[in-house]
Amino acid sequence: MDNKKDVKGFLEFVYEFYKTMKAHEITLVYEGEITHQITKAFTSLTESNMAKDDEPGNVQRKVFHVMVECLQNISKHADDFMSSDFLFSGRGIFLVSKGENEYSVTTGNAVDNDRIEELTNMLETINKMDKDGLKGLYKTQMKEGRLSDKGGAGLGFIDIKRKTGKELEYHFLPISNDTSFFLLTSTISRDDI
């Protein structure tokens, strides 16, 4: 009897979850480890959906760019974070939503609190820069930045801002005294393209 009740409760939750996804126009949501295989699967899925919707080529390309950089950001950085808390260790959330005039790509992953300042500074610097400033910074980073052992060159955020022309929205939510959940959302607007 109890089991039946649990199942019913769960299914009701699934329906609520579905409605919430619809309300937020979420077309793809994933929680878990982000690997290169996952990156390939999600980008090709989104690509074929966009092609089916006759999305213009430049919108498709920009969404593709932003998705790849966001996914690679998490896959490179999520495992920097070693947590005994199974909820947050080495994993992240990734979602894509499609509104009437825009696509949004959102990521979330746990970070150590001592990285907040660095991330905030980097994002604020990039957000304040105009097109030419970003171009200059990208060139400098490409020339002088070294690839980290995980293949990051510090170029991802700059590239996202350049491709979308929009500020990167972000938020840190506390998990514990040492850690926070880092959320980042990028918007690709059809009107600007």
Partner 1 sequence: METIKIQGTEDTPKVILDKDNDLMEISGRSLPEDVTSFYEPVLTWLDEYSQSPNKKTIFNFKLVYFNTASSKLLLDILMKLEEIHEAGNDVLIRWHFPEDDEDMEEAGEEYADIVDVPFEQVSYSG
CB of 91 to partner 1, least distance (A): 19
Structure tokens of 151? 């293949």
CB of 159 to partner 1, least distance (A): 5
Strand arrangement of the beta sheet that strand 169-174 belongs to: 26-32, 92-98, 102-112, 179-189, 169-174
CB of 165 to partner 1, least distance (A): 11
Interacting residue ranges for partner 1, rule: CB under 8 A: 36, 39-40, 44, 57-58, 61-62, 64-65, 68-69, 72, 135, 138-139, 142-143, 145, 147, 151-153, 155-156, 158-159, 163
CB of 42 to partner 1, least distance (A): 12
Choice between 152 and 175, CB closer to partner 1:
152
Residues 6 or more apart whose Cβ sits within 8 Å of residue 158: 126, 134, 137, 138, 141
Distance of CA 123 to the CA centre of its chain: 14
Choice between 19 and 40, CB closer to partner 1:
40
Structure tokens of 45? 């899925």
CB of 158 to partner 1, least distance (A): 8
The residue whose two tokens read 């409760």 is 9
The residue whose two tokens read 């514990």 is 176
Choice between 9 and 57, CB closer to partner 1:
57
Q: What is the helix (H) or strand (E) element at residue 169, kind and residue range?
A: strand 169-174
DSSP state of 36: H
CB of 102 to partner 1, least distance (A): 18
Choice between 88 and 138, CB closer to partner 1:
138
Helix count (H) and strand count (E) of the chain? 6, 5
Choice between 80 and 178, CB closer to partner 1:
80
Choice between 49 and 83, CB closer to partner 1:
49
Looking at the chain, which runs of residues are DSSP E strands? Answer: 26-32, 92-98, 102-112, 169-174, 179-189
